Amino acid sequence: MDKTWVVLPVAGVVLAACVTINIYFPAAAAEKAADKIIDEVWQMQKSGKPGTNPEAPHTTDTVKETK
Amino acid sequence: MKALIKLAAILFALCFAASTLAAADIEANTPGVTALKQSMQARHAQLAGYYASGAVGLTADGLIAVRDANAIPLASRQAANALVAAENQDRNALYAEIAQANGHPEWQGEIRSTFAQRWIQRRQPGWWVQSGGVWTQK
């Protein structure tokens, strides 16, 4: 029965660790979200329209990111 | 006893799943964010000229400020000030809304500084930025 005294603290530590993990700020995702909003507000995507800019295909690989 | 161990295991699994989900993405698609984006996009048509002339610049805290009032015709100076104030109100609301939408109001400061960096990095050549009280031009 004294196992309870092992499991309870362990569960507590696990919970605390989870809380710690969850408060990390996802900086990379925030940057991506910011870029998307900035694109829309400043309407930057229109300068990358195919045909108007010969360098457009060159820049697409930096935009595309796999998760 | 076994139930306790199971409970701990389930808790751990849940927390792990939640933390990977939470760390993977930032929610920025709420109706509030969309409304702010549209409002800022419409205002940008008027602000773009002021950025280009150096009348208005970006600040290090993710806002904008009047840099050189003399670059604005006297007649439209008041309107320009109102534009800047309205833009800053929207930007502050945007940072708060994104933090709120992600269930972490305390992230507002980090979201603000992320935006500040991105606005500054992605600005067009000729636009001014204020940092530490000093204005510099791209």
| Phi, psi (rounded to 5 degrees) for A25 | -80, 120
Name the strand (E) or helix (H) holding B64.
Answer: strand B64-66
Which residues from B are below 8 Å from A12, CB to CB? none
- B52 belongs to a structural domain: yes
Which residues from B are below 8 Å from A21, CB to CB? 15, 19, 23
Nearest to A33 by CA among B30, B29, B22: B29
CA B23, CA B18: separation in Å to the nearest integer? 8
Which residues from A are below 8 Å from B127, CB to CB? none
CA B49, CA A38: separation in Å to the nearest integer? 17
Nearest chain B residue (CA) to A44? B122
Whole-angstrom CA distances from A56 to A39, A46, A47 are 15, 11, 9
Residue A60 clears pLDDT 60, i.e. is over it: no
- B13 belongs to a structural domain: no
What pLDDT band is residue A20 in, cutting at 50, 70 and 90? Answer: low
- ipTM surpasses 0.85: no
Whole-angstrom CA distances from B23 to A37, B18, B67 are 19, 8, 38
Q: For B8, which of A11, A34, A42 is closest by C-beta distance?
A: A11
Looking at CA atoms only, how far is residue B24 from chain A in angstroms? 7
- B9 belongs to a structural domain: no
Partner-chain contact A43 B41, CB within 8 Å: yes
Residue predicted with more confidence, A8 or A28: A28
Domain that holds residue B74: 28-137
What pLDDT band is residue B8 in, cutting at 50, 70 and 90? Answer: low
- B36 belongs to a structural domain: yes
